[in-house]
Amino acid sequence: MTWEMVLKSYLIFLRLEKSMSKNSIASYGFDLQKWITFANERAWSIQSVNADEIRSFLQYCQSHGMASSSQSRLISSLRSFFEFMVMEKVRIESPMEVVESPKLGRYLPDVLNQAEVFAILDGVDLSATLAHRDRAILEVLYSCGLRVSELLTLKISHCFFNEGYLRITGKGNKERLVPIGKTAIRWIQHYCEHDRNFLRPDEKNRDILFLNAKSKGLSRMSILNIVKREKLRAGIQKEVTPHTFRHSFATHLVEAGADLRAVQEMLGHASITTTEIYTHLDRQRMREEIMLFHPRYNKNKGA
């Protein structure tokens, strides 16, 4: 049995037995294909590969610039993959039992301040093709803090504008209700009036809210290109991705005193620990403000 055969069976297992989303399965497949390519180049067999050889693979990944967070995800993928092989009696035991994950530092995401967000939103050229769609997308990203995958799959039938909520399908196909502000609702309605009414989606895409010029669902790259184009138009130099709007949404809520549990619910975080990153970000911002303006911290001013 080859590595590729086992991988194919494993991905089917994730889909049928674990009911994982397509995105999650694709991530596992992407990670494990790296390992398989590395192992095949060295003619390592499924039965004989050991922990030292796996460590050499991880060292190779690290030496080629792989971040600790990506290494941790890769190790998780390998651990699950080898556990599957043990379960299917392809191997007697898993070599991953003695392979440790790298220690991760707390990651503080880049965020936009409110002026930068408004500069991007207000800078959209509404005379351009599908510009009302692009403005609506940016408004929803910031107003609701959605993941890109959630935005791409947002359905018209899941928009409850009278109640002020969207029904969002997040990770693990878990559903949640997310509040949406009047401004974002207004721009979605503008998009439907100016752009979407002239599109002719097929049955598969009829309920998808955001469409491209061919009346098909948008891709991740399409959303990234919209964000990058508009941040350049706004004259913002820092790196900005669609996820930056999600981080900015959460950070601005925490800065304004929003309850952390409420922010957790809106973001769809399984654990409050994930949401707590925004309290650390808020404290870091507070410290920077003190360092900048307090006379006892600012070296440019008298002691």
Output the average pLDDT for the chain.
Answer: 88
In total, the chain counts a number of residues equal to 303
* pLDDT for res 303: 40
Q: What is the mean pLDDT of residues 119-141?
A: 96
Among all chains, which residue has been given the structure tokens 């949401």?
A: 275
Q: What is the tens place of the pLDDT at every residue in 223-258?
A: 999 999 999 999 999 889 999 999 999 889 888 888
pLDDT at 301: 46
Residue type, 241: T
pLDDT of residue 86: 94
Residue 121: the pLDDT is 97
259 or 122, higher pLDDT: 122
209 has pLDDT over 60:
yes
Catalytic residues: 147, 171, 243, 246, 269, 278
Write out the E strands in 61-205.
159-160, 165-169, 175-179
Residue with tokens 């959303």: 223
Q: What is the pLDDT of residues 254-276, one digit of tens each?
A: 888 888 888 888 898 888 777 77
Give the C-alpha separation, 237 to 195, whole Å: 30
Q: Say what percent of the chain tops pLDDT 90.
A: 64
Residue 89: both structure tokens together:
């009696």
pLDDT at position 105, please? Answer: 52
pLDDT for 289 beyond 70: no
Least confident of 4-18, 166-180, 274-288: 274-288
Domains with residue ranges and CATH for the chain: 3-98 (1.10.150.130), 114-291 (1.10.443.10)
What mean pLDDT is predicted for residues 42-48? Answer: 94
DSSP code at position 207: T
Question: Could you identify the residue written with the tokens 């039938």?
Answer: 157
CA distance 278 to 110: 11
SS3 content of the chain, % helix, strand, coil (to 5): 60, 5, 35
User: Residues 209, 155: contact at Cβ < 8 Å?
Assistant: yes
Q: Does 106 score more than 60 pLDDT?
A: no
Q: What is the pLDDT of residue 20?
A: 87
What's the pLDDT tens digit per position in 163-172?
Answer: 999 999 988 7
Cα distances (Å, whole numbers) of residue 157 to 19, 42, 299: 24, 52, 57
Q: What is the pLDDT of residue 157?
A: 97
Other beta carbons within 10 Å of 220? 13
Q: In Å, how far are 60, 130, 201, 213 from 198, measured between CA atoms?
A: 52, 10, 10, 10
- Written as six digits, the tokens of 193 are 């009036």
